Amino acid sequence: MIKLVQNELIKIFYRVGTYVMIGLLLLMVLITGGFMKYQESQTLDANQQSWKNELSVQNEQLKKDLAEMKGHAPKDQIEYLEKQIAINEYRIQNNLSPNENYSMWDFVADASPFIEFAGLFTIIIAAGIVASEFNWGTIKLLLIRPISRKKILISKYITVILFALFMLFVLFSFATFVGAVLFGVPDQSSPYLLYTDGKVIEQPIVVYLITTFLLKYVNTIMLATMAFMISAVFRNNSLAIGLSLFLMLMGSQITRMIAIKYDWAKYLLFANTDLMQYIEGTPIVEGMTMTFSVTMLIIYFILFQALAHYVFQKRDVAA
C-alpha cells in the first residue's frame, strides 16, 4: 500500500501543474503580506491611549442600531452586533487593547481565507486522480497488476488526503513565515476573543488558528471526496472539477436559501460542512449540533466512498 501511495505521489509531483498551484498559493500569501504591511505603515496609531473611550462610543452606537433593528433585521445580523458589543465590553473590562501591534498571528488569521484556494487545488487533484488514468490510457496497465482494484482506489484516496494536508501545511507554515518576517513574532500574543452562547472566552491565538484551519478544511476534504467519487464514477476530469467547484462556491448559499423555508435543509451536505458555525456564529438550522453535523458528514463520506468503489470495481475497461 505504501508503494502504491508513493506511486501516486510521484505522479502528482512530477507534473508542472502541481508546482504552478503551489506557486500560486504562495504568491497570494505574499501579496497579501505586502498589502498588509503597506496598510500598517499608513495607519500608525495616534490614539493608543484613548481606545477605551472609542470602544464605549462605538458600543453605544451599536446598541442603538441593535434596538432599531430588532424584530425586522435578519437573525445573523443581530447576532453579529451582539457579538461586537460583547467583545468590546470584555476588552474594556479586562483592559485588552484592540490596537495591539499587528503581529504574525494576525496575519495568519488574515490568510485563512486562502484555505479555499488550497481546497480548490486539492479538488483539482482529487478530480484528476482517477479520471486522468482513463484519459491517458494508463488505466489499462494499472489494472493488470497483481493488486485489487479496491486497493488501487484506496491508495488513490489516501494520496488525495495527504495532498490536502500538504497544501494546508504549506499554507499555514508559509503564512506564519511571511507573518514573522514582515510583522515580527510577538513576545506575548494577545488572546483571541471567542463569543459563544452569549459569553466571551479567551483562547490562545495559536489554538484558535489551528482549530480554524482544520475545521475549515473539513469542508475541503468533503468536497475533495465528492470530486474523487465523480472522477471514479464518470471518468471525467472536467465534470468532477466543474461540479465540485460550483458546489464549493454556491453550495452553502443554496443550502441557506432552502434553510429559510424548510427544516430538512439540515440533512444537506453543505449545511454540515462548515463546522466553524458551532464555534463562532450560529448553525444554519436551529437545533443542529456538532455531533449531528459530524454524523451527517460521516454518512455522506461513506456514501461517496461506497459509490466510487462500487462503480470502479465493477467497471469494464473497454476503451
Partner 1 sequence: MSAIQIQSVSKVIKGKKIIDSLSLEVHKGEVFGLLGPNGAGKTTTIRMIVGLISMTEGDIKIAGSSIKTDFEKAISRIGAIIENPEMYKFLSGYQNLLHFSRMSKGISKKKIEEVVELVGLKNRIHEKVKTYSLGMRQRLGLAQCLLHDPDVLILDEPTNGLDPAGIREIRDHLRMLAREKNMAIIVSSHLLSEMEMMCDRIGIIQQGKLLNVQSVQEFVQSTNPIFELEVEPKEKAITILKHSYPEGKVEEKEKAVTILIEKKEIPNIVKKLVEKNVHIYGIKEKRRTLEESFLELTTNGEGSKYDQVSTK
Site string for partner 1, 64-103 (x = CB under 8 A): ----------------------------------------
Q: Which stretch binds partner 1 (CB under 8 A): 2-10, 48-56, 251-259, 284-292?
A: 2-10
For residues 246 and 228, is the Cβ–Cβ distance under 8 A?
no
| Stretch in the footprint of partner 1 (CB under 8 A) among 14-22, 50-58, 90-98, 244-252 | 14-22
Nearer to partner 1, 256 or 315 (CB): 315
**Exposure b/e, 285-308, CB count within 10 A at least 16 = b:** beebeeebbeebbeebbeebbeeb
Region near partner 1 per CB under 8 A, out of 7-15, 52-60, 81-89, 233-241: 7-15
Residue in the block written with cell 443581530: 78
Residues between 16 and 35 that touch partner 1 (CB under 8 A):
16
**Shortest reach from residue 6's CB to partner 1, in Å:** 7
> In the complex, what is the shortest distance from the CB of residue 130 to partner 1, in angstroms, rounded to a whole number?
15
CB of 95 to partner 1, least distance (A): 59
Q: Which stretch binds partner 1 (CB under 8 A): 13-21, 26-34, 82-90, 186-194?
A: 13-21
How many angstroms separate the CA atoms of 155 and 3, rounded? 9
Figure out which of the listed residues 3, 72, 199, 261 binds partner 1, where binding follows CB under 8 A. 3
User: How near is the Cβ of 249 to partner 1 at its closest, in Å?
Assistant: 30
Comparing CB distances to partner 1, the nearer of 44 and 144 is 144
- Taking the least distance from each CB to partner 1, the nearer of 52 and 151 is 151
153: Cα within 13 Å, side-chain hemisphere: 24
Residue 204 lies near partner 1 (rule: CB under 8 A): no
> Could you say whether residue 15 binds partner 1 (CB under 8 A)?
yes
Give the nearer residue to partner 1 in terms of CB position, either 155 or 277.
155
Minimum CB–partner distance for residue 227 and partner 1 (Å)? 21
Residues between 125 and 184 with contacts to partner 1, criterion CB under 8 A: 136-138, 140-148
Applying CB under 8 A, the residues found at the interface with partner 1 are 3-4, 6-7, 10-11, 14-16, 136-138, 140-148, 314, 316-318
